[in-house]
Amino acid sequence: MDFSEKRVLVTGAAGGIGLSIVRMFKAAGAKVAAADLNVDMVQADAHLPGNLTDSSYTDNLPTAAEKALGGLDIVVNNAGIMRRGPVTASTDQDFDISVDVNVKAPFRICRAAIPILAKNGGGAIVNTASCWGVHPGPDHAVYCMTKAAIASLTQCMGRDHAHQGIRINAVCPNEVDTPMLRTGFELRGFNPTTAIADLNKTVPIGRIAQPDDIAEVVLFLASDHARYMCGELLEINGGKSVA
């Protein structure tokens, strides 16, 4: 895939999947603006650090990326946060930060980016939803709810803005071997290496996903190879359905 002369905004750029997305876009010739709380270690053309819970930051992020890169063609709303537990074990803080990061931030970024992309003749937006938002699983009520929201928003926007030459799709991963997953195991008292080895056994393909597995699909959806896809929720699960 050739992304020469394409300008890309990636949120969650410092995370496991985000780093892979940035690296692959760069390798394919794109200019990339990296957005995250701290982007010092991200090899990107522009660094746009900030907090996705800050509405003024998210409202202005696409314009900032356009100015920094000399244009904007692709937006990847990759950032996400996971809070575990059923509703009865979920706090107001769990709810608020999950909605802010997983729903409000991509909503605001898309709302600001779509006019920019339309002005330039079109483009692509790729959102990160989750298999757990399409097929809700146990003990992740708030996470599943927010990922279902971004999945539905993707489908709505995909239909509403296709006529402007803007293709909007979502990747829906299952478990991915990222620092977030490993930290989650540690917080629950598990050895991350052992826990992931056990998790690998539950996947028909033989292992959970690596960040590159997801990043390559993101690039596909952003590319002309996916030129007839809009409003799609593409599950990446290695054959494993949600428990």
pLDDT in tens, 103-152: 999 999 999 999 999 999 999 999 999 999 999 899 999 999 999 999 99
Chain segment 166-180, per-residue pLDDT in tens: 999 999 999 999 888
Average pLDDT, the chain: 96
Band (pLDDT 50/70/90 cuts) for residue 242 is confident
pLDDT at 202 over 90: yes
Output phi, psi for 12, to 5 deg. Answer: 60, 30
Whether residue 243 has pLDDT greater than 80? no
Going across the sheet that includes 166-173, the strands are 46-47, 31-35, 7-11, 74-77, 123-128, 166-173, 233-236
The average pLDDT across 174-203 equals: 91
- Please state the pTM of the whole predicted model: 0.96
User: What's residue 205's pLDDT?
Assistant: 96
Query: Residue 87: pLDDT above 90?
Result: yes
Task: Count other C-beta atoms under 10 Å from residue 66's C-beta.
Answer: 21
pLDDT at residue 183, as a whole number:
85
Place of tokens 């190879």: 225
What is the distance between the alpha carbons of residues 183 and 186, in angstroms, rounded to a whole number? 5
For the chain, helix (H) and strand (E) counts, in that order, are: 9, 7
pLDDT for 63? 98
The catalytic residues are 143
